[in-house]
Chains A and B, each alone.
Chain A
Amino acid sequence: AQTVTQSQPEMSVQEAETVTLSCTYDTSESDYYLFWYKQPPSRQMILVIRQEAYKQQNATENRFSVNFQKAAKSFSLKISDSQLGDAAMYFCAYRGGTYKYIFGTGTRLKVLA
């Protein structure tokens, strides 16, 4: 069975600084997607960034980028130039061939002014 582990329950970052959130996963599948979702206090989850496992190039979306290490089964999220609006819960998620999503336990990100 696939598992997703987020070992950082909470992280803090100063506004305008850079922070990296960690995620590791376990799978025996070769084709899969990895995602980072953001859940602000209002609770609605939104997709931040997605990575296809067959792509070696790390995904980037504006200030958000990932470091995808397939052999190490690691998928970290880097947020550059952190903003107050980035404060939220961040969930790492895995989706394999069954279209079933498996989420980690989340990392609460605090942005300090």
Chain B
Amino acid sequence: EAGVVQSPRYKIIEKKQPVAFWCNPISGHNTLYWYRQNLGQGPELLIRYENEEAVDDSQLPKDRFSAERLKGVDSTLKIQPAELGDSAVYLCASSLVEGWLNEQFFGPGTRLTVL
């Protein structure tokens, strides 16, 4: 079974440029998470989807970040315009919610460098 796929793995852009990250979750997983992981820190949730619905986006900086999950499968996270402080690893995770059991499976992440 294929794991969570993310692309690109690395991205270098200049500040004020737009950037997009793509995530393909494990087949059948209805919940998808986007996290930001700063250097030396743990992941911080940006947004969580249940199917197509964003059920928790309280940590998403909505002035420059946007996300979508069309048809409840793939998801895209966008930053426009990027700032220097956005340099981080962006992780995608997915899970299948069955009652309380909710094990997350993570993708390899996208390392973003903003110059």
Interface residues, chain A, CB within 8 Å of chain B?
4, 31, 33, 42-47, 50, 52, 91, 93, 95, 98-101, 103-106
**Are A105 and B42 in touch, CB under 8 angstroms?**
yes
* CB <8 Å contact, A106 and B100: no
Interface residues of B, dominant DSSP: loop
Known: A44-B109, A46-B106. 17 other contacts (CB 8 A): A31-B100, A33-B100, A43-B109, A93-B42, A99-B31, A99-B56, A100-B45, A101-B33, A101-B43, A101-B104, A103-B42, A104-B42, A105-B40, A105-B42, A106-B40, A106-B41, A106-B42
Asked if A45 contacts B40 (CB within 8 A), the reply is no
A95 to B97, CA, bound (A): 13
Q: How large is the interface on B (under 10, 10 to 19, 20 to 34, 35 or more residues)?
A: 20 to 34
**Contact partners of B91 in chain A: CB under 8 A:** 45
**B-side interface residues toward A, CB under 8 Å?**
3, 31, 33, 40-45, 48, 56, 89, 91, 93, 97, 100, 102-104, 106-109, 111
With contacts defined as CB atoms under 8 Å apart, how many contacts are there between chain A and chain B in the complex? 50
On chain B, the residues within 8 Å of A31 by CB distance are 100
Determine if A43 and B108 form an interchain contact, defined as CB atoms under 8 angstroms apart: yes
Q: Which residues of A contact B40 (CB under 8 A)?
A: 105-106
Contacts of A98 in B (CB 8 A): 56
Contacts of A91 in B (CB 8 A): 42-43
Contact B108 A42 (CB under 8 A): yes
Chain B: which residue is nearest A98 at the CB level? B56
Q: Are A100 and B56 in contact (CB under 8 A)?
A: yes
* Cα separation A27 to B100 with both chains bound (whole Å): 17
A95 contacts B42, CB within 8 Å? no
Contacts of B109 in A (CB 8 A): 43-44
Report Cα–Cα, A33/B100, bound state, in Å: 9
Whole-angstrom distance between the Cβ of A74 and the nearest chain B Cβ: 18
Instruction: Decide if B102 touches A95 in the complex (CB within 8 Å).
Output: yes
- For B4, give the chain A residue with the smallest CB separation: A44
- For A4, A101, A105, A106, the residue with the greatest tally of chain B CB atoms inside 10 Å of its CB is A101
| Contact, CB under 8 Å: B103 / A100 | no
Q: List 7 A-B contacts (CB under 8 A).
A: A43-B108, A44-B3, A44-B107, A91-B43, A104-B42, A106-B40, A106-B42
